[in-house]
Structure 1
Amino acid sequence: MSPTGEPLTGERILEATEEVLRRHGPAKATVVDVARALGVSHGSVYRHFRTKAALREAVTKRWLDRTAEALAEIAAGDRDPEARLRAWLRGLFDAKRRKAGDDPELFATYTVLTGESGEAVAAHIAELTAQLARIVREGVAAGVFAATDPETAARAVFHATGRFHDPCHAPEWARPEAAADFAAVVELVVRGLRA
């Protein structure tokens, strides 16, 4: 229980961790800082997350899941598969650009954390490519796309568009030509998938 009387939950700890990371950065943020922000002992935090690494992995997963959840709605939508693919790729690019532009300190922090969080990042990429595979599979079933293996095609689409979602390319996203480059790559990808 925290001093405010609210139960200490994993979600509250993750929210506080995100704020501590924003203020201190990943190199200086500690579990003690998180506990202090919540008004509890660090042992209380450790009861929810056994290690600092587990806490960092969980906060990274939470951050990545926000993007995956928004994209899942697009992937499951009722538009035709080509429109969904375009919207999904646009949604991913826009989400990453917003994260990088709206809160650059936290984006930089998460770039460091995703480098440490192998399981969270691998699960995130698997989720995103599964969403793409669903769109491709439904496109094949509708006769819109030609792909013998939708999972392989989805991975290829994901990698082909990496410049527009991989955080290592974030400095390029604000350049004036980024939108035109994105549109050209999406057009090429869609044309390559068409039946």
Structure 2
Amino acid sequence: MAPPTETLTPERILAATEEVLRRHGAAKATVVDVARALGVSHGSVYRHFRTKAELRGAVTKRWLDRTTGLLAEVVAADEAPPAKLRHWLEALFEAKRHKAGDDPELFATYTVLTSENGGVVDAHIAELVGQLTAILAEGVEQGAFEAPDLPATARAVFEATAHFHDPAYAPEWPRPETRPAFEAVLTLVLRGVAA
């Protein structure tokens, strides 16, 4: 085993884990494979991630955080709340659609990992609903939206659009009728929260 040329960091381990998952899939990828890809012993990986489950949870979080980070930029954008809500929902749909379509093998692998890491997924969903809550609160403050219970309304918007971001529906996203259906739901959602 060759000595590592760079300092072993959690980020390097996560990047290597993602590559190993891409090559081997969730069922066959091991910590030994990750260590081999990094040129270190598996004990070195375990110094950063105590268990295989912890490593898989961290790589799942990293994958989900890419979407959350992209959407946080939309929340921070200087847009009127109705435009921002539309932009956020479109960005969520596009991010999920691209993940499924651009790298279907890795998407399938992460679908397995998310089913193993319910806590990570729950935290991701809570963060997304929190972002929606912030957009809705801004809209209520500016008089553009009505939402007597902001968290419940944000959750309802998230659930109403689930067909366009829940990975269970990924096989339907490439269909030609999906985009018009998304636009119809988006129109209903925006009307539903309008003041």
TM-score (norm 1): 0.98
Task: State the alpha-carbon separation in 2 of the partners of residues 138 and 150 from structure 1.
Answer: 10
Given that 2:4 and 2:38 are in contact with CA atoms closer than 8 Å, whether structure 1 keeps it comes out as no
What residue in structure 2 maps to residue 124 of structure 1?
Answer: 124
Matched, 1:135 2:173: no
Identity %: 69
116-125 or 86-95, which deviates more: 116-125
Paired residue secondary structure (1:79):
coil
Q: Which residue of 1 aligns with 2:45?
A: 45
Residue equivalent to 2:172:
172
Deviations 1:104-147 (A, max 9, x none): 00000001100111121011001100000000011011111111
Residue pairs, 1:1-195, within 5 angstroms: 3-195=3-195
Provide the C-alpha distance between the structure 1 equivalents of 2:133 and 2:92, rounded to a whole number of angstroms. Answer: 15
* Structure 2: gaps (5+ residues): none
CA distance in 1, matches of 2:34, 2:5: 17
Q: Per-residue deviation at 1:5? A: 2.5
Task: Output one character per residue of 1:17-68: Cα deviation in whole Å (capped at 9) or x when no partner.
Answer: 0000000000000000000000100000000000000000000000000000
Output the aligned Cα RMSD: 0.8
Unpaired segments of 5 or more residues in structure 1? none
Asked if structure 1 preserves the Cα contact closer than 8 Å seen for 2:4 and 2:40, the reply is no
Misfit runs of 4+, over 6 Å = none
Which amino acid counterpart does residue 63 of structure 2 have in structure 1?
W
Letter aligned with residue 102 of structure 2: D
Q: TM-score, normalised by structure 2?
A: 0.98
